[in-house]
Amino acid sequence: MAQKNIYFVCSECGCESLRWAGQCPSCHTWNTLKEFAVERSVSSSGSSRHKAEAVRAYKLSEIDGSPLERIKIDMPLVAEVLGGGIVQGSLLLLGGNPGVGKSTLMLALVHKTKATTLYVSGEESLQQVKDRARRISKPSSNVLLLCDTDIDVILATVLKEKAQLVVIDSIQTVIDRSISSTAGSLVQVREIALRLQQFAKANNISFLLVGHVTKEGSIAGPKILEHIVDGVFYMESESESLRLLRSAKNRYGSTQEIALLEMDQNGISEVAHPEAVFLEGRASNLAGSCVTSVVEGSRVLLVEIQALVVPTVFGYPRRSAVGIHPQRLELILAVLERRAKISLRNYDVFVKATAGLAAREASADLAVAVSLVSAYQNKPVDDKWCVFGEVGLLGEIKQPKDKAIRTKAAKSMGMAKQVSAKNITGALEEILMGRK
């Protein structure tokens, strides 16, 4: 006999509740509790429990400690973001805005590996996938295409074709017909993800899932989806052609690595030397501009910090920061006024990191301060300067521990001048007035 239990799950945080409410009791968002109906078998005695026998537990010393086997990808930067390749039996999730290039990246990946791959498309026909694949890469004999949305059909085909890697584009289109709800619903996405996880571990088959995102930029569906998978990766658009692949969760590698990709009519490719890609088209000898270095994982990116300082029209001056943390901007303005005797309290201040890259690390403080003073005094910064360092509340400058790799990357682009001053006043004089 089956008993139906109804409960409500928050689509934002995954919190479960026995009754509906307008506001989630956990994350306090409104209108996010969605109804779930789950059927459970109940015995004639009224108990839903079943007897289970204990299994053996293992000591860590008894477990094989050999390295995890990975599927190699002929895209070094992407493979590094994934943790060195795709671990066999893993479940990975890729999200991104519509049109950012998720499907294109997946097609490029399956053609850059020698593993037997099944590409499952739930949104496009086989002819559409073939047309796009023909434009971006040469046909590969190890890639099989399937256009279906039934999870039972997909898993049966995986076993029949003996696939080592499976791409599902996208998980919101897949449906389990034993569950009475539409494709993409919370219960469908959660139950399908659980089935894929169990199937992947049991058969040592890797899955790459493409997921839709909400208007806030997070992956659509219940939050538990991100907890089930082994890795969550986001593809972001930095410009018309540049894409940034970063990791939000990775059980098999670091979440600090990034891959800079470039899209064109022939598909998607890696940017081999991303150091100065964000400086392309930069105008030189203009006041309010300063170059800094940003470290993303093991890569150093050179980014331009721009500042604009204008007299305020209203009584309260504006403070605008794009790609810079607003609180750090307020801190830098206070240090400039107190320690360097440069007051911008009667000026509107606008600061941004160019090319859409977020320079939120503390080492960008000094570059922000220099660009502000450069704009205020209308004194350009020499193109040979690459400025980085954290500005303390006492006006001191703290150099990052990875100063050596930042300096090396800057010198490779012809920026040989580095700040030697230990405080904000000395650094401003050294950079803007040429004093040592």
Mean pLDDT of the region 366-386: 95
Q: Is the pLDDT of residue 1 over 60?
A: no
CB under 8 A, 24+ apart: contacts of 173-180: 173/122, 173/123, 173/149, 174/122, 174/149, 174/150, 175/149, 175/150, 175/151, 176/151, 176/152, 177/150, 177/152, 180/37
Tokens of 100: 């950012």
What are the phi and psi torsion angles at 100 (to 5°)? Answer: -75, -20
Adjacent-strand bridge partners of 206? 165
Handedness of CA 130, 87, 214, 223 (dihedral sign): positive
> Peptide bond before 374: cis, by omega within 30 degrees of 0?
no
Contact 430, 313 (CB under 8 A): no
pLDDT for 380: 94
Q: Which of 68, 105, 102 is nearest to 85 (CA)?
A: 68
Judged on CB neighbours under 10 Å (0-12, 13-18, 19+), 264 is: exposed
Do domains 68-270 and 277-432 share one topology? The answer is no
pLDDT score at 214: 66
pLDDT at residue 215 is higher than 70:
no
What are the structural domain ranges in the chain?
Answer: 2-41, 68-270, 277-432
Give exposure, 382-411, as e/b (b: 16+ Cβ within 10 Å). Answer: eeebbbbbbbbeebebebbeeeeebbebbe
pLDDT score of 45 more than 60: no
Most confident option among 8-12, 352-356, 417-421: 417-421
- DSSP for 74-116 reads S-HHHHHHTTSSEETT-EEEEEE-TTSSHHHHHHHHHTT--S-
- Give Cα separations from 95 to 163, 219, 411, 433 (angstroms): 23, 6, 36, 47
Q: Which of 115, 345, 358 is nearest to 236 (CA)?
A: 358
133-175 residue pLDDT tens = 877 766 678 899 999 999 999 999 999 999 999 999 989 899 9
**pLDDT score of 289 more than 90:** yes
If one compares 354 and 253, the residue with the highest pLDDT of the two is 253
3 state SS for 242-256: EEEEEEEEECCCCCC
Q: Which amino acid is at 228?
A: I
**Helix, strand, coil share of the chain (percent; to 5):** 30, 30, 45
- Structure tokens of 78? 């992407």
Phi, psi of 369, rounded to the nearest 5 degrees: -65, -45
Span of 3-12, 178-187, 293-302 with lowest mean pLDDT: 3-12
Q: Are 324 and 351 in contact (CB under 8 A)?
A: yes
pLDDT for 93: 94
4-7 long-range contacts (CB < 8 A, ≥24 apart) are: 4/37, 4/38, 4/39, 5/37, 5/38, 5/39, 5/40, 6/35, 6/36, 6/37, 6/38, 7/35, 7/36, 7/38
Q: What are the backbone dihedrals phi and psi of residue 176, each rounded to the nearest 5 degrees, phi first?
A: -105, 110
Q: What is the pLDDT of residue 296?
A: 78
Q: What is the mean pLDDT of residues 361-372?
A: 94
State the Cα torsion 180-184-190-193 to the nearest 10°: 110
Domain at 277-432: CATH code: 3.30.230.10
pLDDT confidence band for 131 (50 / 70 / 90):
confident
What pLDDT score does 46 carry?
52
What gap in Å lies between CA 389 and CA 397, rounded to an integer? 6
**Does 254 or 309 have the greater pLDDT score?**
309
> According to the model, what pLDDT value does residue 272 have?
75
Model-level pTM?
A: 0.75
pLDDT at 186: 77
Confidence of residue 288 (pLDDT cuts 50, 70, 90): very high
| Local confidence band at 57 (pLDDT 50, 70, 90 cut-offs) | very high
Residues found in the chain: 436
Q: Is the pLDDT of residue 20 over 90?
A: no
Confidence band, pLDDT 50/70/90 cuts, at residue 130? confident
Domain 68-270, CATH: 3.40.50.300
Average pLDDT, the chain: 86
For residue 221, the model assigns a pLDDT of: 60
Q: How confident is the model at residue 225 (pLDDT cuts 50, 70, 90)?
A: confident
